Amino acid sequence: MEYKLVPSICPYCGCGCGILMEVIEGKLVGTLPLKTHPINKGKLCIKGWSVHEFVYSENRLRSPMIKKGDKLKEVEWDEAISYAAKRLLEIKEKYGPSSIALISSARCTNEENFLMMKLARYVLGTNNIDHCARLCHSASVIGLIKTFGSGAMTNPIPHLEEAKTILIFGSNTTEAHPIVATHILRAKDKGANIIVVDPRKTHIARIATKHLQIKIGTDIVLINGMMNEIIKQGWEDKEFINNLTEGYEELKKTISKYDLSYVAKVTGVNEKDIYETAYLYTHQKPSSIVYCLGITEHHYGTDNVISLANLSMLTGNVGKPSTGVNPLRGQNNVQGACDMGCLPQYLSGYQKVSDDKAREEFEKFWKKNLPKEEGLTVEEMFTEALKGNIKAMIIQGENPLISDPNISRVRKALQNLEFLIVLDIFFNEMTEIADVVFACSSFLEKEGTFTNTERRVQYIPKVIEPIANTKPDWQVISLLGSALGSKGFSYDSPEEIFNEISQLTPIYRGISYERLKRYPLQWPCKTRLDPGCEYLHKDGFVRGKGRFIPIEEKEPFEIPDEEYPFILTTGRVVFHYHTATMTKNSPTLNKELSSVYIEINPEDAQRLKIEDGEKVKVISRRGEIEIKVRITDNVSPGLVYIPMHFSESPVNVLTSHEPLDPQSKIPPYKYSCVNIKKID
Amino acid sequence: MKIKERVGVFICHCGTNIAGKVDIKNLIQKNSDKENLFFFDYPYFCSQPGQALIKEKINQLNLTRIVVAACSPSLHEKTFHKVAQEAGINPYLVSCANIREQCSWVTEDKEEATEKAEKIIFSHINRVIYQEPLFVKEVEITPRVLVIGGGISGIEAALKIAHAGKEVYLVEKEPSIGGHMAKLDKTFPTLDCASCILTPKMVEVRENKNIKLLTYSEVEEVSGFVGNFEAKIRKKARSVNLLKCTGCGICINKCPIKVDSEFDMGLSKRKAIYIPFPQAVPNAPVIDRKNCLWFTKNKCGLCKKFCPFSAIDYDMQDEIIVEKFGAIIVATGFSLFDPELIYQYGYKRFPNVFTSLEIERLLSPTGPTLGEIVLKNGEIPKEVAIIHCVGSRDENYKPYCSAICCLYSLKLSYLIKEKTKANIYNFYIDLRLTRKGGEEFYNRVLEEGVEFIRGKPANIKMQDDKLVVECEDTLLGKIRRVKVDMVILSPAICPEKSTPFLSRILGLSLSQDGFFQEKHPKLAPASTMVEGIYIAGCCQGPKDIPESVAQAGLAAAEAISLIDCKKIEISPVVAEINEDYCSGCCICVNLCPYNALEYDSEKNKVKLTQEKCFGCGVCVSACFAGALSLKNYREQEILAQIEGIL
Amino acid sequence: MEDKVKEKIKEIIINKEVDGFLVLKRYFNYVVPYLFTEKNLEDLEELSLEEVKYPLARIILKIKKFYPDKKFGILVRGCDEKHLIELNKYKKINLKELYLLGINCSKNLALKCECPSPYTKIANISFGERVEGKNFEVFHKDLSFWLEKFSRCIKCYGCRSICPLCFCNNCSLEEELLVKRGFLPVDYPIFHLVRAYHLAGRCIECGLCEETCPAEIPLRKLYKEINEKFYQIFGYKPGEDIEEKHPLEFLEEEVKEKYGI
Amino acid sequence: MKENIKILGFLCQWCAYQGADLAGTSRLIYPAEVKLIKVPCSGRVSAHIIFKAFQKGADGVFVAGCHIGDCHFKCGNIIAEKRIKVIKAILDSLGIEPIRLDFFFISASEGLKFKKVAEEFYAQIKKMGSLNLNHGR
């Protein structure tokens, strides 16, 4: 007879909530919140409460498979590994290392992401490694490194409680980061002003103190307008600007033409609200900015992020408690994946691949020369695959056939490959077209560490034995690495991998399993005694001086016309998570919401004579889908919204993969033009 | 809202009753574009052509749901159910919207009436979509009737049923049938002797092969439902073998024990082995095991020794009989109010204060004094007072009038006057002589010189061995003190002692005054709320013999008609339980007024007997988990109806 | 006090009075509920009586379902005991088969929880001296206050998932016509009204729901006020005495008598 | 309609509903805002149903059952009355005036009483004004 509650970290969003897995006789039976965890303090969203439900789903991958003819056949591990290694070596010989690309999973542990990076650079000799951060917060990483010097969330989540004003840009917080919303609501209960800037009347917008229902994609104009007003009124923090920043004069010149009336006309927000928001942001201090994909997923996402950085530096609202510019990272370990260097231009710890001194550290440690020039980003990988330059891909825990824009293009690219390896825990669209499928164990079946959105590295223990014939990802990659002839993959526990990480990554140097088991640590944590860094830029910016980069207003890449009169935007729903591979297989979540819908404004619905619950056809320049209608005033006339989670009518058939943001190569998810037709 | 079902909405003009206020044409026109919704109107849908139109539309447009917006469902719901059935749709897929009594007739302004009618119609459209087909269930009926209580009502009912060729079980608690009527001497107003009219019926009961007579027996448990009752009857051991006993009486006079005879109200003695009264049916003795020496001290045994036919059997045990019945008739009679409770009247304190039933025994030729009216000291009384309404029409005791005391008091006055020539004073509040021939009897008694004093005696005192009745004569307006030798009290008729127990095991409800509650005072006086259980005689309320016999006949008729239709339809509007949702918390079990729900401990679930369920829905609204739902009134149906009407 | 408790539990397990004991145990930096059996007696060193609140009654119910014929002991504070008393009324658990080891709460925990009776009453044994609880006066708010709070609800069902008294196999909150599914904000106030009704006269005000609500809705204060009014109407308090029945769950004797039930 | 107050009544089919019908046959006028739903017994009206009525915009809800003693199902009205008391306590705790919910005893022969109940209840709620629980949702 055995019953135990094992603490772990929720595998879904970036909040990194503490959960307790109920285990009876080695079998998962339930999930409880961890009452004493610093972030969620015993609270969970609906996904948190049903973490145990997906583990025993019959759609779980049970053993490795190789595609024979057009059917996947279950094989033993050694056969699958050796076959995969043989084919990879052939392709590497024939087309060279840069013909192989890897996509790591932001849902796997830091150790596993590090091994994927090591497999790419150390074994295969290519920098073609990227992951889904590209599609969500790569703009934040690039934008904040350019302005502050560090691309991560500046202040921790609990700091939000003490903020007097919180500006929420493009974040459906109660649905995408529910426990972050809890801290915001606590601040509201203490009298803070919560101002939401979002084209949609999301749930957080309805419960905030003020909602600026901005026209989609005009954030830069609004922010420049606010900054201009602040300077005109003399509310800027002059002392902060002079001592800690540079480039203020050019900024002042560029934004001078954004006066209130112009900004009101472009953004559709009335002047009084803009003035009031600027006033509150500068007077009700400390003020904090929280933002999500509504800012980053545009083809000028990085500029949006830079504008937010400008606004915070202009008013001295950064580098202090309860302030800062806080990107809410989507995945449970997307921050960790970035930290581990699964980015084409960065080694682990944001050390540039092209920076010889940093790269030599790695080469000295691994005793092998590493490729110098930057690799391909996710979208570039598919473009190159279409051209035939990429022959083989290894995709770990990712479903581009749902989550990447312009799905038909992605499908053609993947079919154009000679060899595709997929590591996942569930059957999904990717396992159908893969040549080799590695059945991996879920986060409850292996030990490791996650890093949540506020740079907090947290330890997760092994709760249950791997189910059926699955193996943890780090063992799979190690086997593959050794099979590819490399000697650097003989680890027998994730702790060993982590020790190698902390040696090679300055911001993780002080972190170890022994410390993590006692309490989580926020990087940068330089030494064994370093208590971790609660908030960044405490005494001066990481890059020395904060840099103002003036940003001009941007034009959308396609304008609504008669053929495609509506603007479509996408986003999340609290009941499901990303491509819903796990949440669709959790009965409680699937019962709550099992089919997708398109939100249409009542006036538009009336005009098109569409009834609530009716199925309509939605067409864009990239493709078309049929989808059920939900008439609601969440969206303003001319704007429609489809959540991203559902495979039966994936919204990303409609979205466009280009133009990419020049700096961070992020595709413009949040904006595409579509048309809606009744089905007779 | 997208509707999947094809719903036909039939709006009735009802001449001008509805059309006068509700603008039906515009209402139909406004909703003509709705998908799967078909509106029709007609002056009188309840009429033959109206019904034909509905049937035609059903077939023509193969509709799956029907809403009839017309008068109150209590008028024509059944009609429209039949119409749907004939058109091939399950009758419970019809919903009647009441837009006459609850809309057009009660609203002044036309526009308001139309808008209200539209809301009501759409609430029923929402509802009908969620309605599910229901099927009437049929249950076999056991062709056998159980009659509880062997008084005149029980006997009458049993005989009527037996004559109709049905099998009857007549269960009587006392050793013999006959009940209270057997104790009476004469009956008013015709003064014919009670036992002369009762004994032939008792004999007929014994002779009739359709009647299985179980005396000295009590019903202990009843379960099941209409047509399928199951009763557990305990036949107490008589210690006398009825087949062998010839009723010769040797055992009785050999028996050394003498105790008060209950039959003679304690005024005379009887042996430990006794026959209650000469005309007893069955005419066989019974051993009173509480007083018989053999059972108390294991001595004597004379009766067995002297019985020529060895009919005495000491080790006879109680016998439990379990039998199935189609209907049950309760005829358990009444009990007399105990006058001792009214201290002032001195019953039991003074020797010569009698109850009317005791006087009946004195008057009876088989009584303790063989018909002589004598005082306790044997003398013939010269002054007799009869006090009416003892305990009746009195808010301290019984608020109701016991109906028969006035008439039988006159009878007693007449008989006593005839026997003793004594002066008789009747103390009354109001003389209620409603029975046929009552007024003439009153005049005859007046002629005999019986005096009537209008005033309820305050108290009775003893003065030099005479009884003084003090009362205020409301006609003369002064206090009178009347000296009498004997006082006769007419106690109130009260519910029989076993009534609460029987109401519990049969599930019958009681009226305010403790008698069994009839289904409807005027239209169904012999039926009860429980299908298949009927009541007759004083157990339903005070009444005289003719009324009891009439009610017994009605109860018998009801039972016979129930049994004759062989099968009975159980209404489909009953609860149903979803086993997976039920978590065995039993909140519902203690709320069911019909004990249709029990807890099943191994499965840790609640079990529902649908046949016992009357469809009140109290359990459904108490169940949080939605495990219980009431057909035709399911939670979704009502919630959808609310959505439509607001 | 911790050592005395450790000794007691070891003693009970060793002489087989119970097969398993549910207590709190240190797990690195956290304190979590844990089931001690004779197989893991050595872990008893890690036993902790730190004042953190977990739904122990709900956990023992789940364990009982997996091991119906085993006997268990459980560490109970005032609120856990009241949970078990209520659950006993609904045949979910049989108190006679359960060994209750009572721990009386400290002063500041009693104040933090605003608990009127921070001690156990029917526990087999209890440790720690009794502190007199304070009856906190009810805080009444108007409709706009509650509508604003309910509008924040993100439908995590946490209030239902953590409450030991929410033992239904199917929850009426999932009835589509009552509360639309797949929408935020949730249909309010009906979602919260339905749950408030289910707990009226049953909730023992332990505060677990308020602590687990991501929308910071003061549920415990609402349920306390309802219980207060419930007591004024029926003179009944939940969680006090096993024999007492909830007024809406039975028919009075004279009603049964009158109607032959 | 005027400042459209909405009232919803749940009537037990054996007594109150017949009473309402009787009010109809005797042409006793009462405000059109009062709308009625038939239920088998007042005991069938669960708290869920009453809350749904308020959620869907009812400003006043009443349940009408048989007089104590002549409930067709013996004691449905007794249980219903207790439930209404509990629901009123809950509404009160939320700051909703408890008199927006009420329980009336109306027998099959009390058509006039039904009309009076409907009118007085409507007037009382109208004085309080509409509840607008889901303002704009």
Inspect the interface and report whether the beta carbons of B636 and C175 lie closer than 8 Å.
yes
Half-sphere exposure for A85 (CA within 13 Å, toward CB): 19
Closest residue by Cα to residue B539 from B496, B502, B493, B492: B496
Q: What is the mean pLDDT of residues A261-268?
A: 95
Which residues contact residue A424 at a Cβ distance below 8 angstroms, ignoring those fewer than 6 apart? A61, A396, A397, A399, A430, A431, A437, A438, A439, A440, A581
What's the gap in Å between the CA of B171 and the closest CA on chain A? 60
Residue C68 lies in a domain: yes
CB atoms within 10 A of CB A662: 10
> What ipTM score was computed for the predicted complex, to two decimals?
0.92
Q: Do B604 and C175 touch (CB under 8 A)?
A: no
D81 lies in some domain: yes
The answer to whether C141 touches D95, Cβ cutoff 8 Å, is yes
Contact at CB, C143 and D79, closer than 8 angstroms: no
Q: Pick from A540, A581, A562: which is nearest to A426 by CA?
A: A581
Chain A residue with minimum CA distance to C21: A3
In this prediction the pTM is 0.87
- Mutation pick from D4, D27, D46 vs chain B, by most beta carbons of B within 10 Å, is D46
The C-alpha of B99 sits at a distance from chain C's nearest C-alpha, in angstroms, of 25
Distance CA B418, CA A109 (A): 115
- Residue type present at position A658: E
The pLDDT of residue D136 is above 70: no
Both B11 and B62 in a single domain?
A: yes
**Residues B35 and B120 both lie in one domain:** yes
pLDDT in tens, D65-100: 999 887 888 899 999 999 999 999 999 999 999 999
User: Which amino acid would we find at residue D96?
Assistant: I
Subunits with 3+ C-beta pairs closer than 8 A to C = A, B, D
CA-to-CA distance for D52 and D37, rounded, in angstroms? 13
Is A186–C181 a contact, with Cβ atoms under 8 angstroms apart?
no
Residues of C in contact with A588 (CB under 8 A): 157
As a CATH number, domain A566-678 is 2.40.40.20
Beta bridge partners of B192: B187
Contact A269, A214 (CB under 8 A): yes
Over range B417-434, report the average pLDDT: 92
- The encoded tokens of residue A582 equal 């796990």
Number of CB pairs, chain A paired with chain B, less than 8 A apart: 7
Which residue of chain B comes nearest to C89, CA vs CA? B585
Distance of CA B425 to the CA centre of its chain: 37
The candidate with the shortest Cα–Cα distance to B622, out of C237, D47, D37, D62, is D47
Is the CB of C182 less than 8 angstroms away from the CB of A593?
A: yes
Task: State both tokens at A189.
Answer: 């209960």
Q: Does A648 touch chain B (CB under 8 A)?
A: no
Name the band, by pLDDT with cuts 50, 70 and 90, for residue A366.
Answer: very high
What is the nearest CA distance from C31 to chain A, expressed in angstroms?
8
Q: Which residues contact C149 (CB under 8 A, 6 or more apart)?
A: C215, C216, C217, C218
What is the residue range of B603's domain? Answer: 575-630
| Residue from A8, A9, A39, A43 to probe the interface with C (highest C Cβ count within 10 Å) | A43
DSSP-derived 3-state class of residue A448: strand
Q: Pseudo-torsion of CA A454, A457, A461, A466, nearest 10°?
A: 80
CB contact under 8 A, C212 and A43: yes
Q: Which residues from B are below 8 Å from C256, CB to CB?
A: 504
Out of D82, D89, D133, closest to residue C229 by CB: D89
Q: What is the pLDDT of residue B531?
A: 86
**Does C246 fall in a domain?**
no
pLDDT of residue D2: 53
Compute the distance between CA of residue A162 and CA of residue A189 in angstroms, rounded to an integer: 11
Per-residue pLDDT of chain C (261 residues; tens, 9 = 90+): 889 999 999 999 999 999 999 999 998 889 999 999 988 888 888 899 888 999 999 999 999 999 999 999 999 999 999 999 999 999 999 999 999 999 999 998 888 888 888 999 999 999 988 888 877 777 899 999 999 999 999 999 999 999 999 999 999 999 999 999 999 889 999 999 999 999 999 999 999 999 999 999 999 999 999 999 999 999 999 999 999 999 999 999 888 888 878
Mean pLDDT on A623-630: 95
Looking at this protein, which amino acid is placed at residue B508? L
To the nearest whole number, what is the mean pLDDT of chain A? 94
- Shared domain check, C84 and C122: yes
The mean pLDDT of A659-676, rounded to a whole number, is 94
Chain B residue numbers touching A613 (CB-CB < 8 A): 1-2
Summary mean pLDDT of chain B: 92
Please check whether residue B243 lies inside any domain of the structure: no
- Which token pair is C95? 């108190």
Q: How far apart are CA A568 and CA A565, in angstroms?
A: 10
Closest chain D residue to B639, measured at CA: D49
Residue in chain A closest to B35 (alpha carbons) equals A611
Check whether residue B153 and residue B32 sit in a common domain.
Answer: no
Q: Which residue type occupies A150?
A: S
A191 interface with C at CB cutoff 8 Å: no
CA-based Rg of chain D, rounded to a whole angstrom?
Answer: 14
Question: C110 in a domain, yes or no?
Answer: yes
Query: What distance in Å separates the CA atoms of residue B486 and residue A268, rounded to the nearest whole number?
Result: 108
DSSP string computed for C51-100: -----HHHHHHHHHHHSTTS-EEEEE-HHHHHHHHHHHHTTS--GGGEEE
User: Which of D28, D34, D35, D87 is best to mutate for the B interface (most B CBs within 10 A)?
Assistant: D35
Domain ranges of chain A: 3-53, 65-131+332-522, 138-328, 566-678
Cis peptide before B282 (omega within 30 of 0): yes
pLDDT given for residue C257 in this prediction: 82
| pLDDT score at D1 | 44
Return phi, psi of residue B258, to 5°. Answer: -125, 125
> Tell me, what CATH number does B219's domain have?
3.50.50.60
**Domain range enclosing C29:** 2-127
Rounded-to-integer distance, Cα B622 and Cα B628, Å: 9
Taking CB atoms and an 8 Å cutoff, what residues of chain B touch A611?
Answer: 1-2
Kindly state whether C154 is in contact with chain D, defined as any CB-CB distance less than 8 angstroms: no
Task: Check whether residue B20 and residue B105 sit in a common domain.
Answer: yes
Task: Write the pLDDT tens digit of every residue in B489-539.
Answer: 999 999 999 998 998 888 888 888 889 988 888 889 999 988 899 999 999
- Whether A24 and chain C come into contact, CB under 8 Å, resolves to yes
User: Is it the case that residue B1 has pLDDT exceeding 60?
Assistant: no
What residue type is assigned to position B552 of the chain?
Answer: A
Instruction: Note whether A405 and A655 are within 8 A (CB).
Output: yes
Helix, coil or strand: residue B31: coil
* CA B285/CA B251 separation, integer angstroms: 9
Residue D77 maps to which CATH number?
3.40.50.960
Structural domain includes residue C137: no
| Test mutation, B130, B585, B595, B621, chain C, max C CBs within 10 A | B585
CA dihedral B365→B371→B375→B380, nearest 10 degrees, is -160
Q: Is C254 domain-assigned?
A: no
Of C32, C155, C182, the CB nearest to A5: C32
The pLDDT of A130-146, averaged and rounded, is: 93
Considering the domain boundaries, does residue C187 fall inside one? yes
Assess A190–C contact: CB distance below 8 Å, yes or no: no
What would the mean pLDDT of B541-570 be, rounded to a whole number? 93
Whether residues C148 and C223 fall in one domain: yes
CATH of domain A65-131+332-522: 3.40.50.740
Contact check, Cβ <8 Å, C162/A32: yes
Residue B568 has pLDDT above 90, yes or no: no
User: How many angstroms separate the CA of residue B79 from the nearest CA in chain D?
Assistant: 18
C226 vs D contacts (CB less than 8 Å) = 89-90, 93
Q: Looking at CA atoms only, how far is residue C200 from chain D in angstroms?
A: 7
In a domain, C260, yes or no: no
Judged by a CB distance cut-off of 8 A, whether residue A614 touches chain B is yes
In a domain, D137, yes or no: no
Give dist(CA B363, CA B419) in Å, integer: 9
Q: Count the Cβ atoms, other than its own, within 10 Å of residue C106.
A: 15
Q: Is residue D70 in some structural domain? A: yes
- Identify the three-state secondary structure at position B525: coil
Examine the pLDDT at A141 and tell me if it is beyond 70.
Answer: yes
Tell the burial category of A364 from Cβ atoms under 10 Å away from its Cβ (0-12, 13-18, 19+).
exposed
Flag whether D63 is in a domain.
Answer: yes
How buried is A492 (Cβ within 10 angstroms: 0-12 exposed, 13-18 middle, 19+ buried)? exposed
Which of A205-214, A269-278, C112-121 is least confident?
A: C112-121
Q: CA of A326 to nearest chain C CA: how many angstroms apart?
A: 20
State both tokens at B328: 């049950």
Q: Tokens representing B480?
A: 């009178």
Domain boundary among C99, C127, C155: C127
Please tell me whether residues B82 and B166 are part of one structural domain: no
A178: nearest CB among C27, C156, C162? C156
Residue B362 backbone dihedrals phi, psi, to 5 degrees: -60, -40
> Do both B35 and B106 map to the same domain?
yes
Inter-chain residue contact D51 with C200, CB threshold 8 Å: no
Is residue C250 assigned to a domain? no
Would you state the pLDDT for residue B2? Answer: 64
Residues sharing a CB contact under 8 Å with residue D120, sequence separation 6 or more, in sequence order: none
Contacts of B1 in chain A (CB under 8 A): 611-613
Do B448 and B508 lie in a common domain? no
At C215, list the tokens: 């929308």
Is residue B618 within 8 Å of residue B591, measured between CB atoms? yes
Beta bridge partners of B325: B229
Range of the domain at D78: 7-128
Q: Between chains, do D73 and B614 touch, taking CB under 8 Å as contact?
A: yes
pLDDT in tens, B581-638: 999 999 999 999 888 999 998 999 999 998 889 899 999 999 999 999 999 999 999 9
Residue A499 in contact with residue A514, Cβ under 8 Å?
no
Position B539: which residue type? C
Identify from D39, D67, D103 which residue to disrupt to test chain B contact, counting B C-beta atoms within 10 A and taking the largest count.
D39
Whether the per-residue pLDDT at B405 is higher than 80: the answer is yes
Token pair 């005494």 in the structure block, residue: A539
Domain count, chain B: 5
Residue-wise pLDDT tens digits, B327-364: 999 999 999 999 999 999 999 999 899 999 999 999 99
What pLDDT does residue B470 have? 93
Kindly indicate whether the domain formed by A138-328 is annotated with CATH number 3.40.228.10. Answer: yes
B624 touches chain C (CB under 8 A): yes
Task: List chains touching D (3+ CB pairs under 8 A).
Answer: B, C
Q: Are residues C178 and C112 part of one domain?
A: no
- Report the DSSP pairing between strands A615-620 and A597-600: unpaired
Question: Domain spanning A3-53 has what CATH number?
Answer: 2.20.25.90
Q: Please determine, for residue B571, whether its predicted confidence score (pLDDT) is greater than 90.
A: no
- A674 confidence band (pLDDT: 50, 70, 90): very high
Rounded-to-integer distance, Cα C23 and Cα B530, Å: 54
> If contacts are CB pairs under 8 Å, which of residues 574-593 in chain A contact chain B?
none
> Cis ω on the peptide bond leading into residue A286 (within 30° of 0)?
yes
